[in-house]
Structure 1
Amino acid sequence: MPAPRLSVVVTRRLPEVVETRMKELFDVELRETDERMSREELVAAMSRADVLVPCVTDQIDANMLAAAGDRLKLIANYGAGVDHIDVASARQRGVLVSNTPGVVTEDTADMVMALILAVTRRIPEGLAVMQAGEWQGWSPTAFLGGRIGGKRLGILGMGRIGQAVAKRAAAFGMQVHYHNRKRLRPEIEESLGATYWESLDQMVSRMDIISINCPHTPSTFHLLNARRLKMMKPSAVIVNTSRGEVIDENALTRMLDAGELAGAGLDVFERGTEVNPRLREMPNVVLLPHMGSSTVEGRAEMGEKVIINVKTFADGHRPPDLVVPGVM
């Protein structure tokens, strides 16, 4: 007799092609609506599943893992970031955690450039005037933005996405600088035309644009705090497509409001969906609803990686995208 199929619970609606393939391979329980599971629903899901497939919106802590019992064996995260999962506690309880790295690299890097252009070229302001029917025609002094060619871009976090941003920025004629936990190999640095700054303080004080592309970890929480934000030039722009917690959002809001920074493009926020209302009112701030990886192709590829991780685990092998505590 064939071995029984793994019981898999999915916490959010996934692309139809992904859900269909999961139904073919596993004993899968899909979400009927796209509403987030409550804490109690997540614990119940973990208690009846061999594999849980959560998303970034599902906070999974040590107490929840303990309350879930011993059936759960794998958390196959639908997404690259795993800061919403207590990976160390999961491993202590014998629960493996996998993710989907590399899939959203190009899409997110595209969004970084889109935000840089949107803020520096004042695209939302022009769009608002057109949608309101208030445009009176071309003027030599209307909607004057800034040229990004020749500007210094400081990339905070030079992993896959940071390097993809560097390549795009170079094509726009920008000067690429970066700060990273570890310096890149010389040949990679040379291929990207990137200048390394060991001191983050020195880098942020000299850049025209800062792009945040590092993960959220205890060491990166408020990495751009009030002190570092004040080091930035008043003409500088900051873009964040990574995790909202990396910036002290209250300090950023105060500085933007006071004209101490030229603008910001934010796809992520420190308190999730609770966006500071003052940010919404600023014409020099572009806000997006965590759209950085939102492409049809990217979402399907994320699902494929989840399926490969679960199928490999079901076959008795180590998931290829296993997350190791302390190496994130």
Structure 2
Amino acid sequence: MTDAVEPALPDDLPDGTHLVVALSGGVDSIALLDLLCRTPRFRITAWHLDHRLRAESSLDAAWVAAHCAAVGVACVCESAEVLAAVRGDGIEEAARRVRYARLAEACVRLGSVAACTAHHRDDQAETALLQILRGCGPEGPTGIATERPLAPGLRLIRPLLHATRADLVAHCRRHGLAWREDASNSDVRFRRNHLRHRILPEWERHCPGIAAALAQLAHGGFQRRQQAERQVVGLLDGVDLDAPMLLRLPAEVRAACWRLLLNRLGIPADRGRLRRLDDLLNGGPGRRLRLGSWLFLRRARRVTWTAVR
């Protein structure tokens, strides 16, 4: 395959791997689907989730199904009531949480071990800036991971983080591919959209290359996070952790230990949960913490965890 953009896929994916591609119908995911279909090593299924947040969302689902039929790709379209899942963290976060949960379920149902999303370098720059504004961990902004666990035994892969949105638009135009435009992506009442349409373009005019610099900053932070995780992966071979040892670790290494543990237990490893685990550790013997379906206990010299109902 020769193209200005090529998907960056892990070298350890065997030929014939079944990849589930999250397909919104936007230019990013349409480009990703086309690029993966031009890579004959893999079996591809497109997956679309109608969030039911816009009156025209059902039209998007119908368009995606028709596009996949036209290009000969298997397609699964589902819907979800995202508004019912809002827990005080906003519609955007609820939609993200529901989308990834349903994507994981779809992978299991389809017999796939890996899903791909079309996040690109512009998304990376926006995410880095959002992380800076919210307050980063000790490793700095880490952006969007090139790969992370979607659920136990499932991989979530982002093959386009090296490409810009302009690259993907150019690819679609070069190959005569149509796409859908989601009007909500232009609604600047949402913080990410405000950064995308107002803040970053203005900064780019005054400081050309700042989006690329933010993406590179996030990549560096992600590499530091990976290095810290490699230092602690051996600590998680047992069924508990040494509390005094954890207290001696540098903050970024201890955060990596908590993050790996939560990933293994199927618990989202956000900054708030990492902070609560640090509070448990620093609180002394007898402290308890419930995260999802797991109970963490601070004993005299150990931190233990037990599945609960």
Normalising by structure 2, we get a TM-score of 0.30
Which is richer in helix?
A: 2
Between structure 1 and structure 2, the one with the greater Rg is: 1
